[in-house]
Structure 1
Amino acid sequence: MEILLIALYLFLVLQRVGELVIARSNRRWMLERGAREVGENHYFLFIVLHSLFFVSIGLEFYLTPFQWNPLFYPALSAFFILQILRIWCIATLGRRWNTRILVLPDEEPISKGLYRVIKHPNYVIVFFELIVIPVLFHAYLTALIFPFLHLMVLTVRIPAEEKALQERI
């Protein structure tokens, strides 16, 4: 079981690095089309938060003896559902998906897919991932701390994003 969890951990780290590569490509594409970026001053908070999240999971997993937990399978099921929702968000935004706040001046905000139902679905999904993923690795302290930190960062991020979308720069 531990080997499978280590493989899952490596998959998640590589997935997030891959998303940064996609985001960089999308950023370049959007900037070439006249997009403006806002919120650069707080972007580092996301990088720090998500980097420390994986360090924290790794440390807790390494420092605590593995014990089978009945929460594992429900957490694994929730993880797969969250992954599907996450991919749906990224696919819905297409080239406009990014980890940064970039706004194309003459385009309306996306209002299809999950974005039709909820304004910032990816942030909600990430919130739940920050709970569910650590539970898979019996990293319960991480599951308590990082969703809270995520909410704190969002108190800066969402207003900046909303303002940029309203003004469409």
Structure 2
Amino acid sequence: MAAITAERLLEVAVAHRNTRWATARGGVEYGRGHYPVMIALHVGLVVGTLTEAALAHRAFVPALGWPALCAVVLANVVRGWCMRALGPQWNTRVIVVPGLPLVSTGPYRWLRHPNYAIVVAEGLALPLVYGAWATALLFTLANAALLTVRVRVEDEALRPAA
């Protein structure tokens, strides 16, 4: 969990750097209203996982925990691939720089929103490493609602570039 937390903090730093890059090039942010909800949900995933595992005395179940850990590692490798493909356009916010084409390399060659598929997979897998099945369920349901908004905002923002 410490590694995931450190990775998320690194993502926030990269996102801040990329926000400055995009803003300097006339980037426009979309969907600001849902961003605090997204941050709270992702913090809640980590806190909920640790809290549930501790308070419910969840034991590590190797048959579930090891595959879930492999899924978390794979998800983060693919997230890194997404970040690399997008370069300075990658962000935790929806910021569009006018005139830039849609990225169609890396995983974006096959999926329009590969990072969101990763978030879904990780939202299920990370809690299950710790046996925190209730957190996996609650995060997945809340994340489905959030992603409905997020994908709509992003698709609308990217429409001119398509």
Using the size of structure 1 for normalisation, the TM-score is: 0.91
- Which residue number in structure 1 is paired with residue 23 of structure 2? 31
Runs of 4+ that moved beyond 3 A: none
Q: Compute the displacement of 1:64 (Å).
A: 2.4
Structure 2 counterpart of 1:104, from 79, 97, 112 = 97
Please state how far the C-alpha of 1:119 moved relative to its aligned partner: 0.5
Cα offset, 1:114, TM superposition: 0.6
Match of 2:144 in 1: 151
Residue identity in the other structure for 1:55: V
Q: Say yes or no: does 1:136 pair with 2:129.
A: yes
Structure 2 counterpart of 1:83, from 49, 52, 76: 76
SS in 2 for 1:105: coil
Residue 19 of structure 1, CA deviation: 0.6
Residue by residue, what CA displacement relative to the aligned partner does 1:21-74 show, whole Å, maximum 9, x if unpaired? 110110011100111111111111111111111110110121122424121111
Pairing of 1:11-22 with structure 2 (within 5 A): 11-22=3-14
Note the residue ranges of structure 1 that are not aligned, 5 or more in a row. 1-8
* SS, match of residue 134 in structure 1: helix
Percent of matched pairs sharing the same residue = 36
Q: Structure 2: state its 5+ residue gaps.
A: none
**Larger displacement relative to structure 2 (59-68 or 32-41):** 59-68
CA distance in 1: counterparts of 2:106 and 2:86, whole angstroms: 9
**Partner Cα distance (2:113, 2:60) in 1:** 34
Is 2:43 the counterpart of 1:47?
A: no
**Secondary structure at 1:109 match in 2:** coil
CA distance in 1 between counterparts of 2:2 and 2:71 reads 19
Q: In the alignment, is residue 123 of structure 1 matched against residue 120 of structure 2? A: no
Aligned to 1:37, the other structure's residue is in SS state strand
**Residue in 2 aligned with 1:94?**
87
Whether the 8 Å CA contact 1:75–1:135 is kept in 2: the answer is yes
SS at match of 2:95: strand
In the superposition, the TM-score normalised over structure 2's length comes to 0.94
- Which of residues 61, 64, 67 is equivalent to 2:59? 67
Shift in Å, 1:167: 2.7
